[in-house]
Chain A
Amino acid sequence: MSTIKEYLTEDHGRCDELFAAMEDVASKSIESAKDAYKAFADATERHFQMEERVMFLEFERKTGMTQGPTAIMRHEHTQMRNLLQEMAKAIEEKNKDKFFGNSETLMILMQQHNMKEEQMLYTMAQQHLSADSNRIVDMMQSLIVQ
């Protein structure tokens, strides 16, 4: 079974692929980007919730840090959710410039967010939660998105 770090890092990769596929469709025709957008947005929301509702909670419980890195990551999730909403609006409005303006911003925000997680938070989480790693990955895999 993957470790927490491997599992979530691979999930970043999956989201990136869906992001690229979404942009690819949108660059040809913004009207037809709805499904690809939904696939990306759903995968991203699922990833956020796997962290917010499972991994972050376990990390906070174990380390006692609720005001630290997980709080910042949650804040960045909010920033990304807002950009995702803007992209959905842009598709509704068939506004390609607005869509790509927001997708570019999201991409950079997302990647520097992912780097921080992969670089620090996941490494720390793996160290602290190694004994419960399988259980936590199981919980994340079986999560039902709210």
Chain B
Amino acid sequence: MDFDGLSVDQAPPLSAPIRFFVTAPLFGILAGILMLLSDPQSLMNRFSPETIVVAHAMAIGAFGFIMLGAMTQMLPVLAGVKIAKVDLVTKISHALLVAGTLFMIFGMYNSVSKLTLAASVLLGAGFLIMIVSMLLAFRGVVHVTASVRAMITSLVFAFIIVLMGMHLLSSYGIGKFSSHHLLFANIHSVWATFGFAGVLIIGAAFHVLPMFYVAPRFKKFCKQKVVWLITIGLILWLLLNIFADSYATIAKIWVAMFFWAFATTVFLKLNARRRPVSDATVWYWRSAAIFMTLGTFSWVINDFYDTQYIVIVSVLIGGGFIFSIMQGMLYKIVPFLIWFHLNAKGYMSIPTMNDMIDKKMSKVQFVLYIVSLVGFVISFFIPSLLAIFAITFIVSMAILEYNIISPILIYAKTIKTKPEFDMSAFSMGVEGKI
């Protein structure tokens, strides 16, 4: 029997996920600044360069970064596999993605074709290095669970949308657009939202909600079938778009229905959770469920209004669902990782997870974020208000950054001051080297 895949001590170095987490709110701030600098009217048009730039500052820089960082941590725990050379892979991928996202933002915003073309290569390389490394890691999985299947499915979607994204972005770079450009853009964005992010979130939720909140488990049907049914829906939607686009709404309703059902299930499971705790993570799960419900309905209804409300749909699903869950997760994963790595180094007199982030600050950050989202929707109808909500959004991102950095500062300080070094970990009959 090959035991290489069975190493339980596979936690990647702290820096691997943290570098992605720390960068994400900074791109959020940049997205907010871009909103302030842009003409609000042009942000109401989905295909304006300003909108594409803001959307990608968020989609890649903010939620994409958090998802990649989280996956480096999730793979060992949920799938029992590790990414080969995880430190090097994350370092290179992170650098390429930071440069690529910045190049894309400035290239498209200022119409500098060389920057845009370079962005296409950098982003493609940055994403593919991570995606391929993770897909390769899955070869070693011992026990395929619903979450593992969801993660693999999500990565396959990611792989495809990255290739499509490279093609779309290079079209802007060279200034030539194929006749399918808008169709490709549509597939790229829908598969990224529901196929990559949506499926990944659903797959993680199968474990996270029952385990961390002692909530009722997901039904076997959900765990075994939902990811497949969504995937079939997304493929059907693609085929209908190509061959019979007047029927594409049917597939859209199919996909939307499952995400609506998921959102409702999340809300009900949180209501039925046995743990009494209520914190930023729970608030974010709840807000995500509410925004996703509104998002799925408006996504479908939007088809009957000539897709003129697509920007609102993006705010509800991208900001309200995906980014809400990502932020909620950061509030748990960052303090835990800091605690875990300090504890593993033998430091016992360290603050508990709850002492690492000021609860008041997390509440302020959450409220400002929700206000910003609602404000973005209102601004669609009253564009002059956008600046106000861009500012509340920037502030909420700045506080998020502060909230994430606080535990990291505790880590740095502990390592520097070396408090009581407790050796008790070695007195409990632990065998061998840890």
Q: Which residues of A contact B (CB under 8 A)?
A: 16-17, 19-21, 23-24, 27, 52, 63, 65-75, 77-79, 81-82, 86, 97-98, 100-102, 104-105, 107-109, 111-112, 114-116, 119-121, 123-124, 127-128
Within 8 A of A (CB), among B57-93: 76-80
Task: Verify B78–A72 contact, CB threshold 8 A.
Answer: no
Q: How far is the CB of A29 from chain B (nearest CB, A)?
A: 12
Task: Verify B428–A17 contact, CB threshold 8 A.
Answer: no
Q: Given that A78-B428, A108-B336, A114-B211 are known contacts, is A69 also in contact with B7, CB under 8 Å in the complex?
A: yes
Task: Verify A20–B214 contact, CB threshold 8 A.
Answer: yes
Q: Which of A17, A23, A78 contacts B430 (CB 8 A)?
A: A78
Residue of A nearest to B426 (CB): A78
Q: Which residues of B contact A (CB under 8 A)?
A: 1, 3, 6-9, 76-80, 142-143, 145, 207, 211-212, 214, 274-277, 332, 336, 339-340, 343, 348, 351-355, 424-425, 428-434
Q: Which of A27, A73, A115 contacts B211 (CB 8 A)?
A: A115
Bound CA–CA A8/B353 (angstroms)? 28
Task: Verify A69–B6 contact, CB threshold 8 A.
Answer: yes
Bound CA–CA A89/B1 (angstroms)? 45
Residue of A nearest to B208 (CB): A111
Task: Verify B276–A75 contact, CB threshold 8 A.
Answer: no
Bound CA–CA A97/B6 (angstroms)? 37
Task: Verify A108–B430 contact, CB threshold 8 A.
Answer: no
Q: How far is the CB of A98 from chain B (nearest CB, A)?
A: 7
Q: How far is the CB of A131 from chain B (nearest CB, A)?
A: 15
Bound CA–CA A115/B351 (angstroms)? 25
Q: Cβ of B425: which chain A residues have Cβ within 8 Å of it?
A: 75, 78-79, 82
Q: Which of B343, B355, B433 contacts A67 (CB 8 A)?
A: B433
Q: Which of A27, A71, A97, A108 contacts B212 (CB 8 A)?
A: A108
Q: Given that A74-B429, A104-B353 are known contacts, is A111 also in contact with B211, CB under 8 Å in the complex?
A: yes
Bound CA–CA A25/B434 (angstroms)? 36
Task: Verify A16–B211 contact, CB threshold 8 A.
Answer: yes
Q: Cβ of A116: which chain B residues have Cβ within 8 Å of it?
A: 8, 76-77, 80
**Interface-central residue, B1, B78, B212, B332, by most chain A CB under 10 Å:** B212
Residue of B nearest to A67 (CB): B432
Residue of B nearest to A16 (CB): B214
Q: Cβ of A98: which chain B residues have Cβ within 8 Å of it?
A: 352
Q: Given that A104-B352, A111-B211 are known contacts, is A72 also in contact with B8, CB under 8 Å in the complex?
A: yes
Q: Cβ of A109: which chain B residues have Cβ within 8 Å of it?
A: 336, 340
| Sample (29) of A-B pairs whose CB atoms are under 8 Å apart | A17-B214, A19-B275, A20-B274, A23-B275, A24-B274, A65-B3, A68-B8, A69-B9, A71-B431, A71-B432, A72-B9, A73-B8, A74-B428, A74-B430, A74-B431, A78-B424, A81-B428, A100-B354, A104-B352, A104-B353, A107-B212, A109-B336, A115-B77, A115-B211, A116-B76, A116-B77, A119-B77, A119-B79, A121-B8
Q: Cβ of A108: which chain B residues have Cβ within 8 Å of it?
A: 212, 332, 336, 353
Bound CA–CA A40/B143 (angstroms)? 29
Bound CA–CA A72/B353 (angstroms)? 22
Having A120-B80, A120-B142, one finds 11 other A-B pairs with CB under 8 Å, namely A63-B1, A69-B8, A71-B434, A78-B428, A101-B352, A104-B277, A105-B352, A107-B275, A111-B211, A119-B80, A123-B143
**Interface-central residue, A24, A77, A115, by most chain B CB under 10 Å:** A115
Task: Verify A66–B431 contact, CB threshold 8 A.
Answer: yes
Q: Cβ of B78: which chain A residues have Cβ within 8 Å of it?
A: 115, 119
Bound CA–CA A63/B6 (angstroms)? 12
Bound CA–CA A128/B3 (angstroms)? 12
Q: Given that A20-B275, A69-B8, A120-B143 are known contacts, is A105 also in contact with B431, CB under 8 Å in the complex?
A: no
Task: Verify A75–B275 contact, CB threshold 8 A.
Answer: no
Q: Cβ of A67: which chain B residues have Cβ within 8 Å of it?
A: 431-433
Q: Cβ of B332: which chain A residues have Cβ within 8 Å of it?
A: 108
Task: Verify B77–A112 contact, CB threshold 8 A.
Answer: yes
Q: Cβ of B433: which chain A residues have Cβ within 8 Å of it?
A: 67, 71
Bound CA–CA A39/B76 (angstroms)? 31
Bound CA–CA A101/B359 (angstroms)? 12
Bound CA–CA A19/B210 (angstroms)? 13
Task: Verify B348–A82 contact, CB threshold 8 A.
Answer: yes
Q: Cβ of B8: which chain A residues have Cβ within 8 Å of it?
A: 68-69, 72-73, 116, 120-121
Q: Given that A115-B207, A119-B79 are known contacts, is A27 also in contact with B276, CB under 8 Å in the complex?
A: yes
Bound CA–CA A69/B7 (angstroms)? 6
